[in-house]
Structure 1
Amino acid sequence: MTSYDALLLLSFGGPEGPDDVIPFLENVTRGRNIPRERLEEVGEHYYLFGGVSPINQLCRDLKAAIEADFAAHGVDLPVYWGNRNWTPYLADTVRQMKADGIRRAAAFVTSAYSGYSTNDQYLEDIARVREEVEDAPEIDKLPVYSGRPEFVEPFVDGTKEALSRLPEGARIVFTAHSVPLSQPNREKYVAELEEVARTVAQKAAPGAPWDLVYQSRSGPPGQPWLEPQITDHLTKLHGEGVRAVAVVPIGFVSDHMEVKYDLDVEAADLAAELGIAFARVATPGTDPRFATLPRRLLEDAR
């Protein structure tokens, strides 16, 4: 741990008001030739929540919790926060780190899995910004942590609690962000998701039936993505006589917009329409156990 002189909390970013929504979505989709109409359609999801994504406040809360955990355990490292797609932008944060004399930092990313968009793209972001900022600090991304108990156990407890509120025989439905089948390292991403789903199911409800499904796909209709989508799966489960589901968003660290809209609005509304009892498990982002993970990963890196 002594080899680092700072921790960088690196996240996705999100709009914090209606005027931010379209510029934020333009940042997210830059270079992908997404039609303006599609951006405006997705923007409506944000406007339902006042144009504010919860992810930035969750990052502020997580940063404060990490700082408190560091202080409680004698870890004398400042914690910085930068985003990929909105303020505070990663480049601006790295400039501040340089100005503060930081020479080598560890980066904790709010994404638990391997894969391109969940891991490799963050490595690209770090490399790009280090080229952009002259004499930038060294930045080492901490390892993926999907199998760590600090990430998994909050899902276990949340699944137990959700099942306790549902009728007997509820099905556990794990969800993660869909990605194109052509995306690099997609197989490793899926393997890690399957392992987390298996672990959570075995610990929360041994023997209970469960499925791994996907959400939030955004590509053209003809492009193959990971399936099934959760809405299609809920319809299928209804046809099979399933009358209750506990939805567990294991692909996500925090309750950002794709959780709040795609699950809490779209999937929940469909479940109600189908007559399926629906309970959504919280993500680990605000769990005290999760806030200890950066320190423990730093300890392992010594």
Structure 2
Amino acid sequence: MKLFQDKRFNITLLFLFVILLVCFYLSGFKIGVSQYDINLTIITALFMLLTTIIAVSLPLYSATKVDQERKEKETENTYISIARYVGEELVDNIIRIEDLLQNNKDTFKQINDKSQNSSELSRIKNSVSIWRLTSEELFICLDDVRHRDLIISGMLTKIPNDNMASAIKDAYSKMSNLRHRLRRMVAFFSGLNQEHPNNPKELIDHMQKTKAPKSIKSVEEEIDIFLKQARKAVEEINKVIKSYGQELKIITYSPEKEKSKDVIGK
């Protein structure tokens, strides 16, 4: 039956049938067949051909349509799964960053409450220590596993929704930039916290006062850039999967109450 789905086979079959009719028409007179019988035979053959084509084509068309719908549904489900697969990883990364930033804020508040009379340099040193630990943890915990797997498999480049694919690509590009910034910051702050004979205390203090705040500000800016792009990517993913009754949400927790933030509402 699959042969009848091949256009070349159908054309060849029709061509051979026409040749046979022409040969019959030309040779019919030589063997004594009357014009009436020749015409009747040709008309009957054409009618049988038309009936056969209709009888074969209708089931084939129905089967082809069902198969096409099944493949489209499978492809659709695959892309929905991909969207959730990557989207959940982005949501996890957003939650990790927000939790760490909140912890930073709480830690700074506790330190400031306990050391209100401390010097500016002392506060900067505290910031350096806290941000070094935060940067280390962020660098380790920011995941790119699912996204990288999809790139290797080639599935991510086949997503039919250009807006969603572009937003996902941009989000992970911003995350890569953030990870590079975090790695440089960890190395720099680790050097500031280590005493070395070749680095006088005055030089380290000067760098902590001048360079450390700029580094912290740069990381905060990179974090903000990534969070905005990650939220945009999750928003684009939600636009696609919401019509299938699914939705990605960012759930944050606080000591007072539990709040659910819809990413689209951000």
Q: Which bracket does the TM-score occupy, shorter chain normalised?
A: under 0.3
Q: TM-score, normalised by structure 1?
A: 0.23
Instruction: Work out which of the two has the higher radius of gyration on C-alpha atoms and give 1 or 2.
Output: 2
Q: TM-score, normalised by structure 2?
A: 0.25
The structure with the largest strand share of the pair is: 1
The structure with the largest helix share of the pair is: 2
